């Protein structure tokens, strides 16, 4: 599932590409994706509105629109938002005279996609970018498309000034990269919690935006074992975890996220954090601290945790 760095990367991309454009329509083959409106009402509500800015809260993409509305997208397990141009397969026969490259033609002929990218590169070539379930049509001819293999993505539309009433947004914990998220604030949050640290770090109502990947990574850097109980952590250990929450998330944003699984950037490209992983999904590999440890996988509440049994105490 995309976590804070992946969602932040998408939001930064949206601020570069989509701000100032008007929405001219929307499409989905999966009306259940839209949680707040029926599709026809949704299209009616967003049509003609201008994209003012994009921002992030936890793992939610928030797109503020003119007229006091905000479009919210949660990419959930396998969704990622793309900026591109697609045509419906049914339109393809009308376009035969146009000069598409051979790769594109092959894909058209296989007949397994409903929407096909007219832009060559990763939007055509990467299978994870081809599951377009939801589209926002923009005034410059481009589109925002949600590619979502498993169809768990969620879309909401609400009043910008009442965002906290949508889904769980009002109940989310603080943003870990917010300057107001200080060490004192982190310690105070942890002192009110019980349970294993891996689970506490992943709880969006404690701290927003950290999931399976980055909780493993933070604990590897901090040298704390994922099964340690938060109430037994020393002040020094909490300070170290706090330091590496900020460090790892910033590093992952710099890498444009982790594309080991479905996530891609707004342009459909790979992020790079999968090449920097220290623990996540490295079961059986030598610890990069060269301490003789071999990364081990355990299961905590049906989620896997990866750690080095030598340096993570
Ligand atoms: Zn180690």
**The domain that contains 280 carries what CATH number?**
1.10.8.50
Model pLDDT, residue 175: 98
Residue 40 lies in a domain: yes
Model pLDDT, residue 111: 42
Letter string b/e over residues 269-285, b meaning 16 or more CB atoms within 10 A of that residue's CB: bbbebbeebbbbbbeee
Residue 289 lies in a domain: yes
Mean pLDDT of 19-32: 93
Write down the mean pLDDT value for the chain: 92
Distance 285 CA to ligand 1 centre (A): 10
Model pLDDT, residue 103: 46
Distance 272 CA to ligand 1 centre (A): 22
Q: Is 23 helix (H, G, I), strand (E, B) or coil?
A: strand
Residue 312 lies in a domain: no
Sheet holding 143-148, edge to edge: 23-28, 132-138, 143-148, 79-84
Distance 263 CA to ligand 1 centre (A): 28
Q: Are residues 127 and 147 in the same domain?
A: yes
Distance 213 CA to ligand 1 centre (A): 17
Mean pLDDT of 200-204: 97
Which residue in 188, 217, 203, 182 sits closest to 305, CA to CA? 217
For the annotated catalytic residues, the residue numbers are: 2-3, 59, 303
Q: Are residues 154 and 234 in the same domain?
A: no
Q: Are residues 155 and 286 in the same domain?
A: no
Confidence of residue 301 (pLDDT cuts 50, 70, 90): confident
Model pLDDT, residue 100: 47
Q: Are residues 33 and 157 in the same domain?
A: yes
Distance 287 CA to ligand 1 centre (A): 5
Q: What is the per-residue DSSP string for 234-287? A: -HHHHHHHHHHHHHHHHHHHHTT---SSS---TTS---SGGGT-SSTT-TTSBP
Model pLDDT, residue 92: 63
DSSP H stretches of helix in 34-160: 39-46, 102-110, 122-125
Residue 156 lies in a domain: yes
Distance 221 CA to ligand 1 centre (A): 9
Residue 1 · residue 34 · CB < 8 Å? no
Q: Are residues 19 and 147 in the same domain?
A: yes
Q: Is 172 helix (H, G, I), strand (E, B) or coil?
A: coil
Residue 177 lies in a domain: no
Model pLDDT, residue 95: 54
Q: Are residues 30 and 151 in the same domain?
A: yes
Model pLDDT, residue 182: 98
Q: Are residues 149 and 244 in the same domain?
A: no
For residue 158, pLDDT over 80 is answered with: yes
Confidence of residue 162 (pLDDT cuts 50, 70, 90): very high
Domain boundary among the residues 171, 204, 233 is at 171
Q: Are residues 131 and 197 in the same domain?
A: no
Number of domains in the chain: 2
pLDDT digits (tens, 9 = 90+) for 219-262: 999 999 999 999 999 999 999 999 999 999 999 999 999 999 98
Mean pLDDT of 175-198: 97
Residue 176 lies in a domain: no
Q: Are residues 52 and 151 in the same domain?
A: yes
Q: Are residues 85 and 14 in the same domain?
A: yes
Residue 248 lies in a domain: yes
Structure tokens at 52: 């003012």
Q: Containing domain of residue 277, as a range?
A: 183-307
Q: Are residues 166 and 267 in the same domain?
A: no
Beta-sheet pairing, 60-65 with 115-117: unpaired
Distance 32 CA to ligand 1 centre (A): 45
Model pLDDT, residue 114: 81
Tell me the pTM. 0.91
Model pLDDT, residue 78: 83
pLDDT digits (tens, 9 = 90+) for 84-138: 999 987 766 555 545 444 444 444 444 444 899 999 999 999 999 988 999 999 9
Distance 193 CA to ligand 1 centre (A): 27
Structure tokens at 84: 């591109």
Residue 296 lies in a domain: yes
Mean pLDDT of 264-276: 97
Residue 6 CB partners (closer than 8 Å, separation 6+): 75, 80, 252, 257, 258, 263, 271
Domain boundary among the residues 171, 199, 222 is at 171
Q: What is the per-residue DSSP string for 246-261? A: HHHHHHHHHTT---SS
Q: Are residues 157 and 191 in the same domain?
A: no
Domain boundary among the residues 139, 171, 203 is at 171
| CATH (domain of 31) | 3.20.190.10
For residue 286, pLDDT over 50 is answered with: yes
Residue 18 · residue 51 · CB < 8 Å? yes
Model pLDDT, residue 105: 44
């Amino acid at each position: 599932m995309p976590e804070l760095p992946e969602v932040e990367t998408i939001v930064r991309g949206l601020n570069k590409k989509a701000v100032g454009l008007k929405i001219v329509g929307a499409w989905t083959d999966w009306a259940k994706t839209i949680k707040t409106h029926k599709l026809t009402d949704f299209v009616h509500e967003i049509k003609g509105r201008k994209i003012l800015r994009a921002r992030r809260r936890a793992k939610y993409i928030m797109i503020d629109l003119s007229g006091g509305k905000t479009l919210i997208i949660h990419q959930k397990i396998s969704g990622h938002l793309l900026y591109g141009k697609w045509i419906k397969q049914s339109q393809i026969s009308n376009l035969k005279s146009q000069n598409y490259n051979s790769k594109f033609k092959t894909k058209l002929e296989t007949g397994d996609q409903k929407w096909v990218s007219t832009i060559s590169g990763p939007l055509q070539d990467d299978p994870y970018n081809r599951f377009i379930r939801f589209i926002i049509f923009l005034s410059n001819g481009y589109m925002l498309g949600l590619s979502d293999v498993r169809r768990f993505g969620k879309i909401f539309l609400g009043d910008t000034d009442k965002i906290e009433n949508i889904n769980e947004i009002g109940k989310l914990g603080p943003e870990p990269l917010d300057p107001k998220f200080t060490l004192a604030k982190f310690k105070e949050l942890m002192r009110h919690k019980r349970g294993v640290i891996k689970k506490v770090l992943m709880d969006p109502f404690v701290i927003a935006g950290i999931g399976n990947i980055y909780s493993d990574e933070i604990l590897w850097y901090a040298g704390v074992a994922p099964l340690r109980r938060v109430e037994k952590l020393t002040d020094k250990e909490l300070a170290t975890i706090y330091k590496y929450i900020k460090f790892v998330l910033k590093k992952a944003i710099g890498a444009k996220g982790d594309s080991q699984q479905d996530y891609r950037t707004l342009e459909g490209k790979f992020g790079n954090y999968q090449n920097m992983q220290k623990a996540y999904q490295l079961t059986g590999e030598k610890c990069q601290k060269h301490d003789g440890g071999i990364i081990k996988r355990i299961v905590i509440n049906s989620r896997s945790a990866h750690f080095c049994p030598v340096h993570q105490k």
